[in-house]
Amino acid sequence: MHYNGAAMNLSIDDFEYDLPNGLIAQHPSKARSASRLLRVGAGTIADHHFSELPDLLAPGDLLVFNDTRVIKARLFGRKETGGLIEVLIERLLSEREALAQVHAGRPAKPGSTLHLAGGLNVRVLGRVGEFYHLSFSEGASVLEQLERHGSVPLPPYITHAPDAADERRYQTVYAHSPGAVAAPTAGLHFDEPLLAALAQRGLESAYVTLHVGAGTFQPVRVKNLAAHRMHGERYEIPAATAAAIERAHNRGAKVVAVGTTTVRCLEASAAAHGIPVAGAAETDLFITPGFEFQVVDRLITNFHLPGSTLLVLVSAFAGIEPIRHAYRHAIGERYRFYSYGDAMLVDKMPR
């Protein structure tokens, strides 16, 4: 789904920036809420710590979280020919089947068997676009096999092998519904004491589920934004969440999305109706400058890769120039970037 307008004359090059390698966070902060928080408002910018978030929000505002749970989606092994392979699950199709990226010297052939860690034999049923359709026909379900034999699918810019700390910290404390192969990273800053402080402040909370796919790390391969097509992602909005958003709007409270995945979920659902509709669906919504946000008023988000669809979304939300200025400030102040990095609290650009 695409939205045309003046912004469609933009190039992905308009969303590039230079980041020193030393600012790419390789490990999480010692405590979740000890990360830094850059406050970006209308013509203002201020440095905070994430633990100060309750003071930056108003009683009665509604926080909406993505409760997806990261699965151990990365597997290693060999093809029948002996070549080394790496499998990254994109999404679960059923208890026995999944779509996946398969990285190998040569493409895996339909009908062949992949011999993976733990004696796991997986059959290649065919191709679905850039992904492979795999069958886990033996033993336990795909999810159980991944939990037993897989590893945490850390992003490619994190260079260490995942360890026990990553299993704990590359997961939100409120993760509930398994299916994501990348964490909704804005949520990684919340811990139980902070959630309690937000509730005591009078903030309300609600949840959606959007299973983040491996495509979130796929680069934009075209210059013109109008030519880019997003990968599809499944989401679900509970009836209680849709009702909470409607009540917040009716009382004039702000809806605060925790993460770009939450924004995509809520805005995709509301695109045809003006308010989110409860239920399950799939979205390939690409939010670009010129998009009219109907649900979300404020956004909590991490710092994103240059030339990424996530940076384009944040720029659509707050304005291209304010975000450019914010990123320059963050680099100058040596904020930590990407999944394990620091965060921003961003206001929606006035219409």
Same domain, 212 and 108: no
Same domain, 132 and 278: no
Please list the residues that pair with 11 across neighbouring strands: 224
Residue 187: CATH number of its domain? 3.40.1780.10
Please list the residues that pair with 33 across neighbouring strands: none
Residue 158 lies inside a defined structural domain of this protein: no
Given strand 298-302, what is the order of strands in its sheet? 44-49, 36-41, 343-347, 298-302, 255-258, 62-66, 204-210, 233-237, 279-283
Query: d(Cα 262, Cα 67) in Å, to the nearest integer?
Result: 10
Same domain, 193 and 302: yes
What pLDDT was estimated at residue 81? 87
What pLDDT was estimated at residue 215? 66
Q: Using alpha carbons, select from 52, 41, 59 the residue that is nearest to residue 253.
A: 59
Residue 181 lies inside a defined structural domain of this protein: yes
What pLDDT was estimated at residue 217? 61
Same domain, 202 and 302: yes
What pLDDT was estimated at residue 57? 98
Q: Are 94 and 177 in contact (CB under 8 A)?
A: no
What pLDDT was estimated at residue 43? 85
Same domain, 136 and 252: no
Average pLDDT for consecutive 10-residue bins of the chain (351 residues)? 55 93 96 97 94 98 98 94 92 92 91 91 93 88 93 94 95 96 96 98 98 74 77 90 95 97 93 82 90 96 95 96 97 98 96 74
What pLDDT was estimated at residue 4? 41
Sequence-distant (6+) residues with CB within 8 A of 247 are none
Residue 279 lies inside a defined structural domain of this protein: yes
Same domain, 96 and 54: no
Domain span at 11: 6-70+166-347
What is the token pair recorded at 184?
């909704």
Which residue do the tokens 């994430």 mark? 50
Same domain, 342 and 209: yes
What pLDDT was estimated at residue 6? 46
pTM of the model: 0.93
Cα distances from 283 to residues 1, 109, 234, 272, 314, in angstroms, run 8, 30, 6, 13, 18
Same domain, 198 and 80: no
> What total of structural domains would you count in the chain?
2
